[in-house]
Amino acid sequence: MRRLLARRMKIHLFGAFFVSLGCAALYKFGVADPRKRAYAEFYKNYDPMKDFEAMRAAGVFESAPPK
């Protein structure tokens, strides 16, 4: 029973390190990279003036009434 806590702590420390490393990798490749690609694809063909005119025609803005 001597040094039981120290032995168990080593095992749990390494286990926690590898689990957190795995979670970080899963988040990066499963969430962050696809999100970056989606934003890049959206803004590749985005025309802000066209979007503004559509919102203006719909009456979204108070300071820019529809024509």
CATH 3.20.20.70 holds for 4-58? no
pLDDT in tens, 27-55: 999 999 999 999 999 999 999 999 999 99
Instruction: Specify the pTM.
Output: 0.68
- Residue 64 predicted with pLDDT over 90: no
Q: For the stretch 5-17, what's the b/e string if a residue is b when 16 or more beta carbons lie within 10 angstroms of its beta carbon?
A: eeeeeeeeeeeee
Residue 22 has a CB neighbour count (10 Å cut-off) of: 10
Token digits for 26? 């899963």
